[in-house]
Amino acid sequence: MATNLRKNSEVDFVGTQNDKLLGGKLPFVKEVLCVLFYHIRTEKKTVREGATLAVHQVLAIWNKTRIPQIQPIKAIMKLESYYKMWEGLMRNKTRETETEKSKRANFEFQINALFDIAQKDAVEIMQRQILYKDVSEDERIALREDIDFYFAQRQASRQGCIAGVDKVLATRESRAAMMQQNRARKEEQLKARMEKEAKKRKLICGKLFFTFCSF
């Protein structure tokens, strides 16, 4: 029984179906395809429905970074293009020609790489943001770290993890929020002090006017 379940969950040229993306790294194409096939084969979704659900999980991970992304529909279509490549391999599954072997090797190479949904000029966009005058030093540091993280995730080793980036980002945002609260409190205190001094000056002027009128 268990053997049959494992066999049914296996996808030729891809791997084992999975209902969710695991780990704290930007997912590889292979991992996203495993989620797509879970929705198609187990949940009985259409290719478009399955691709939409799989990409939704991808976006949830990518949104923890500041890396500019392509539109969701383009990410969905990108995933569907890999599915079409897989269909082509399956049509000739029994053939052992050099051409088919080359296609399989090329497919394996492509799916063992980052499912990259960054905009074409994502790095340039972030580098320009770093130069903006109104960007805080913390934001500049975060942008530089996201650029480094993006390049690292495009490597086979995928060094770094979302959890670490997310924790650093949360710490910075918490600190920024605290600084903003402190500024707001100081502004309120300054406003209250100025109003108090204005009332005091008004009272003194009133007394001086009364004294002057008494002569």
**Each residue's pLDDT expressed in tens, for the chain with a length of 215 residues:** 444 445 578 999 999 999 999 878 999 999 999 999 999 999 999 999 999 999 999 999 999 999 999 999 999 999 999 999 999 999 999 999 999 999 999 999 999 999 999 999 999 999 999 998 888 899 999 999 999 999 999 998 888 887 655 554 555 555 545 556 666 677 778 787 778 887 777 777 666 555 555 55
d(CA 38, CA 151): 29
Q: What single letter denotes the amino acid at residue 189?
A: Q
d(CA 165, CA 152): 12
d(CA 7, CA 194): 76
Q: What 3-state class would DSSP assign to 64?
A: coil
Q: Where are the domains of the chain?
A: 2-119
Please state, in angstroms and as integers, the Cα–Cα distance from residue 166 to each residue in 2, 25, 154, following that order.
38, 11, 18
Q: Is 54 exposed, middle or buried (0-12, 13-18, 19+ CB in 10 A)?
A: buried
Can you read off the two tokens belonging to residue 15? Answer: 């791997």
On whether the CB atoms of residues 49 and 85 are closer than 8 A, the answer is no
> pLDDT value at position 2?
45
> pLDDT value at position 154?
93
Beta strands in the chain (DSSP E): 10-11, 15-16
pTM metric for this prediction: 0.72
